[in-house]
Amino acid sequence: KNAFTNIQEAVAKVFNQGATVYLAPETFQITAQVVLNNRVTIKGTQTVSAASTVAMAPGGTNRCFYVNHASARLIGLVITTGYALGDDKAGCGGGVFVAKSPTGSAWPDPVIESCRIVNCRASDSGGGIAFVDRGALWGTFVRDTMVSGNITATNGGGIATSSFLYLGNCTI
């Protein structure tokens, strides 16, 4: 496994649907939101016994991740100091914004697993994570994840959702 040292560069190089991007156990500066438009897994090293992969927006100036595919995955990351600023959806999900799944998609929904989403903020809703326009048949799986210390001006300091959300073994 070759670990990338720049998340934006790694995601841009993923052309194979279903690929996994392995990140080194270090701190990554996210200076513009990382957009996941394909079936990709971003895998860090966040575990109890190992050094962590940290994705942070320096100075809290932008959102960390924008998930725009029904099968994108974020696994083993510490996501911190993201900031979503703006009206409506632009101000949602300081750490992670999960957009609407494609109608009739045969792929599973996005998974956030074994992550810590901390100290993020949003001017609208979902300081840590926002799930918007997911639809009645769609849900998102969040498991083995801690969401803590996030703030927002309106709804859902930790998590805001407009549809089904499946939580397993999480601390909010």
- Can you spell out the DSSP letters for 84-100? E-SSGGGGS-SSEEE-P
Closest CA to 94 of 39, 55, 145: 55
Cut 0.85: pTM above it: yes
Give pLDDT, residue 82.
96
pLDDT digits (tens, 9 = 90+) for 124-169: 999 999 987 655 445 678 999 999 999 998 889 999 987 778 888 9
Give pLDDT, residue 100.
66
8 or 119: which leads in pLDDT = 119
pLDDT digits (tens, 9 = 90+) for 28-66: 999 999 999 888 899 998 765 556 888 898 888 899 999
